[in-house]
């Protein structure tokens, strides 16, 4: 069973229905015990970053959420549920996130319509399990005004779409993420897919069993359902 954490921040019904559509049992819950007992955990959401963190604390869900992020089970963060994984956010003043992925959440730069709402291309290099069978450049549905910046990212190879792929640099945290140093000293283990909306940003990441997307798979029709099927396959395989 997949536990969908309900902390008062939207999209719950559409996420549960999408999993039901692909034949994967999922349950919306505010019960920390149910989160602890689930085979996998999904953290969806939209709205304000700091309000979300406060709600998680108020409902007593922060501890169970941190245990779900210890790398022992598959985890999927969606939209705000992705941003909460980062160290800080500048939305309505600097505030702390869960600090599972080192980095900050910043406001999209001026020059494009904000919020970024609608369909956009996501480029990837074929190395994220959520994108199995999904072509680089496929379109997904976004609704957001802020975007994540991975701390200490350094440029490496080009992806299929010509965007520079990045990974976490040596000083970034690794502990629960299961990252390891390669011969160059850079952290391997964090993989990303990329979108460009006035700035190139990590539209999706994979770190061990932690997966997260800035876009909404449950609203992204064909490729979104394929992505949820891929996550369900990860859950069933126990990897």
Q: Which helix (H) or strand (E) holds 234?
A: helix 221-237
Tell me which residue has tokens 């770190």.
207
Per the residue annotation, which of 16, 123, 218, 229 is the catalytic one? 218
As beta bridge partners, residue 203 has none
Quick one: how far is CA 152 from the chain centroid? 18
Weakly modelled stretches of the chain, pLDDT under 70: 152-188
pLDDT at 181: 34
pLDDT at 57: 95
pLDDT at 152: 57
What is this structure's pTM? 0.85
218 is catalytic: yes
Per the residue annotation, which of 116, 144, 211, 216 is the catalytic one? 216
Per the residue annotation, which of 16, 79, 211, 229 is the catalytic one? 79
């Amino acid at each position: 069973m997949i536990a969908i954490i309900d902390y008062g921040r939207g999209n719950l019904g559409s996420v549960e229905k999408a999993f039901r559509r692909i034949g994967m049992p999922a349950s919306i819950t505010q019960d920390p015990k149910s989160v602890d007992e689930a085979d996998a955990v999904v953290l969806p959401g939209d709205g304000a970053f700091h309000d979300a963190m406060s709600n998680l604390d108020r409902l007593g869900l922060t501890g169970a959420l941190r245990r779900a992020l210890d790398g022992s089970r598959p985890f999927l963060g969606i939209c705000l549920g992705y941003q909460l994984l980062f160290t800080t956010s500048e939305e309505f003043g600097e505030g702390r996130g869960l600090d599972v992925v080192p980095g900050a959440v910043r406001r999209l730069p001026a020059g494009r319509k904000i919020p970024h709402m609608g369909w956009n291309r996501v480029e990837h290099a074929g190395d994220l399990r959520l994108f199995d069978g999904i072509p680089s450049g496929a379109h997904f549905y976004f609704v957001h005004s802020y975007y994540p910046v991975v701390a200490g990212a350094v440029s490496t190879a080009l992806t299929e779409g010509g965007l520079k792929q990045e990974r976490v640099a040596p000083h970034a945290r690794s502990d629960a993420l299961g990252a390891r140093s390669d011969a160059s000293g850079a952290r391997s283990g964090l993989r990303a897919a990329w979108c460009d909306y006035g700035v190139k940003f990590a539209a999706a990441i994979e770190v061990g069993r932690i997966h997260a997307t800035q876009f909404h798979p449950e609203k992204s029709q064909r490729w979104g359902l394929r992505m949820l099927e891929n996550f369900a396959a990860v859950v069933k395989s126990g990897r």
